Structure 1
């Protein structure tokens, strides 16, 4: 079987985001276990005719990422449709609405859709009116590079990125669904009981002062008087790396306060690094965490703060149990399983 995979996300702003990590990890694993399959990796997928099918690993609701006419049987990965679930947070102009019309039209000739979670599948059925039989849920996974770091590695990461001894961690983007301003408000509550704590926000977007989301985050930090307590670090590589694993490992807790997620990959990365997790009881997140995290209501800063205070006051045995549950939960997901299930979808489409 000859499969074209569009690797455009690896050449764009998505390279270090979840979409880029998905594309890279999927491609690497498919090539590793591919057997007799041949994979053509290109940013000009639509120009190649000599193949059995084509996989587009990224779909944008409001930009033209999918061709209307397809020469080959095609598969597309739709990671989520969050802007449709939360339209009040993601306003769309006229151009976006026109692009959305053509993107929906382009989906009609796609043979199969892959998505990251059962929650995203329900959303795709609801908002895009897709036949459920065409949608395949294939979970993501943490890279094997994420594991508990040595004390030396953690100390080196602290020195390199000028990190304090005690910190709570968030890793990711700054989109409105990520709920960062409420996390900061919750952190100000946590400080009343834990004055030596810090909040570390890691992600490339934190360097972009022009983003409205970053302006809102900085305004919240200023209003809460937390300039010395909330640390923004944009230089940490978000690709699987020793630095990021060490930063996860050294954190007192990982916090994912999202209002909505299509999956929630950093949670599995934190689990794999043996860091306790506090996260929302919302969208796909319970699907990822199982019972291995402390759950909060993302709409209420006090609830987020209560979850953080709970994890910080766990007794040693309680913390060990929670960490062990998280580590076991992370092992339920693997890129090998993701790649094999993706290959099964390829085979189903080719036979259809």
Structure 2
């Protein structure tokens, strides 16, 4: 049966600035272009949002969710998040509508917590966790997507103009994008950059984040000053449009990810789409996305957080990769081109939408 109406449900605030809401909004836009009517639903942070969407404060009450499914007259529901964000899964009758849980797991789960939903993994490692958890059904791997017509490599002249816009001087630019949380390990990024400069290298570190002082009082600006690299580190905390983000990635010669763990890491595929090579530990998410091994950061320590493994990259090892990148610019260009091809072939939102349409239509 052909798919005409789909409900998209987020485990995080649908009106917040988070990867879930951005991904579902993008998915909805391209679903609509294929003639599929979509409705967005999720927890709200504010009182008002788009009147065409349907919301609930949470998904704990199965009666509210049943009403929502009826009100939208949906054929199926796609849930982006973790099982504990959708408490109704264990209670909602199987005959209601097909449910698809688009998720990343970093540990084993209780199969009963997803009820009758079909789990659809974001990555191969997530699929492995699902299978080890004893789930009787696991859908195909469908990754997050980006608009590869919007995230594109710029010409040499446009890259120079983008650098001027962001106040970047000439030289090698290392960049990273992410919220200032413990998971992103932005302090280690600054540490690695400081060691890079100590090696006699020249460059600028560009950090796009939401704040320089985290909620647990880690001050990135103070850290950069203590390491005596504050004059080489530029923080961007204001909200940027997609076009501005495209310019930002094109300013970079290398994207550096030192997250201790990731569910997926959309900035990595955005950088790849802009032909920016990426250096990262070989962790779940980025380590699976990158189509090359030359920029993997192998040194570090592993810590356990319950059943989840956290990888704390060694800043010294990361600095070695930065030096390698600086000294092998031809290699960087080749990796950037490979990354762009991979983004177009696997992570373009049009491909992601098509895969979802095929999967859901095949179940209806």
**What residue number does 1:323 align with?**
336
Specify every segment of 5 or more residues in structure 2 that has no aligned partner in the other structure, as ranges.
41-52, 57-64, 299-311
TM-score, with length taken from structure 2: 0.76
When normalised by structure 1's length, the TM-score is 0.78
> CA deviation digits over 1:97-133, x for unaligned, max 9?
xxx99xx7651232x122211112223444xx35152
In the other structure, the counterpart of 2:38 is 39
Higher helix share: 1
Asked whether 1:229 is paired with 2:242, we answer: no
2:229 is paired with a residue of what secondary structure? coil
Alignment map for 1:1-352 (pairs within 5 Å): 1-6=3-8, 11-13=14-16, 15=17, 17-34=18-35, 37-41=36-40, 42-44=53-55, 46=65, 47-49=68-70, 50-59=73-82, 61=84, 63=85, 66=88, 68-70=90-92, 72-82=96-106, 84=107, 106-110=113-117, 112-126=118-132, 129-131=133-135, 133-144=137-148, 145-166=150-171, 167-203=173-209, 205-206=210-211, 209-212=213-216, 215=218, 217-218=220-221, 220-237=223-240, 241-291=242-292, 294-297=295-298, 299-316=313-330, 318-333=331-346, 334-350=348-364
Structure 1 residue 252, shift from structure 2 partner: 1.8
SS of alignment partner, residue 6 of structure 2: strand
| Structure with greater contact order relative to length (CA < 8 Å, sep ≥ 6) | 1
Query: What displacement does 1:242 show?
Result: 2.1
Q: For 1:134, what is the secondary structure of its paired residue?
A: coil
Indicate how the Cα distance of structure 1 residues 7 and 283 shifts in structure 2: closer, same or farther if over 3 A, else same. Answer: closer
Deviation at 1:141, TM superposition (A): 3.0
- Aligned-pair CA distance for 1:304: 0.7
CA distance 1:115–1:21, shift in 2 (3 Å): farther
Residues 239-294 of structure 1 deviation map (CA, whole Å, 9 limit, x = unaligned):
5x222112211212111122322223222222221222211122232321121651
Superposition deviation, residue 340 in structure 1: 1.7
Between the aligned partners of 1:190 and 1:132, the Cα distance in structure 2 is: 48
SS at the partner of 2:317?
A: helix
Superposition deviation, residue 67 in structure 1: 5.6
1:55 is paired with a residue of what secondary structure? strand
Aligned positions, number: 319
Distance in structure 2 (CA, Å) of the matches to 1:171 and 1:60: 27
Give the conservation status (yes or no) of the 8 Å contact 1:279–1:296. Answer: yes
